[in-house]
Amino acid sequence: MQAQYKIIGGDGREYGPATLEEIKGWIRDGRVAAVTQMWRNDLATWSPAGTYPELAEDFQTQPPPLPARVQAQEIPVGFWARLAAYIVDSLAISLVLRIVWPIVSHFTGWKVPELQLPAGISPDVDYATLMRLFSDYVKQMQAALPVMIASSITGRCCSSSMTCRSTAGLGRLRAR
């Protein structure tokens, strides 16, 4: 009678019964290692597969197991290192946008969209006009900021003219 084997796989499940040739195939496939728990039908206990003499030759030809994954050690850096990294990143992005993009756009025909200025403003914007535009922007943001903060805190829209959905999943709400 031929010996039958069972193994405990890496997932903790029992596999088998299998013949000696099937076990050797599993060793070649990397499914069975020398430390895999194995049982033979003529033995009373489970033991590592590497202790079975009939498998010793197969484990010698098996490649060594891969080393455990090494975790990269994170080293905290200070302000100056982060500033230097920011500058290098900015220079790299600038290089791409200033040098590589014109070359790509020349060969592909892609064009950079032109800036659309508000009506009545010429491309030669003077300092006073620029400050007026910035002042208008600041006033709009000052008016919108409380609404944005309130909506982020409550999770609801704060406009009286629209129906909105609560981020907390409370259904549709109509703002008063």
Question: pLDDT per residue over 95-138, tens digit each?
Answer: 877 787 788 888 888 776 666 766 776 667 677 877 888 888 88
Q: How many residues does the chain have?
A: 176
Helices (H), 33-126: 56-61, 79-95, 101-108
Q: Greater confidence, 41 or 65?
A: 41
pLDDT at 132: 84
> Taking the complete model, does pTM exceed 0.95, yes or no?
no
Q: Given pLDDT bands bounded at 50, 70 and 90, which one contains residue 94?
A: confident
* 48 pLDDT higher than 50: yes
Q: Which of 47, 57, 9 shows the shortest CA–CA distance to 30?
A: 9
Q: Is 58 exposed, middle or buried (0-12, 13-18, 19+ CB in 10 A)?
A: buried
Distance CA 147, CA 159 (A): 8
Question: pLDDT per residue over 49-77, tens digit each?
Answer: 989 999 888 888 766 666 666 666 777 78
Contact 134, 125 (CB under 8 A): no
* 37 pLDDT higher than 90: yes
* 169 pLDDT higher than 60: no
Angstrom CA distances, 175 to 126, 142, 145, 147, stand at 42, 21, 18, 13
* 1 pLDDT higher than 70: no
Distance CA 164, CA 155 (A): 10
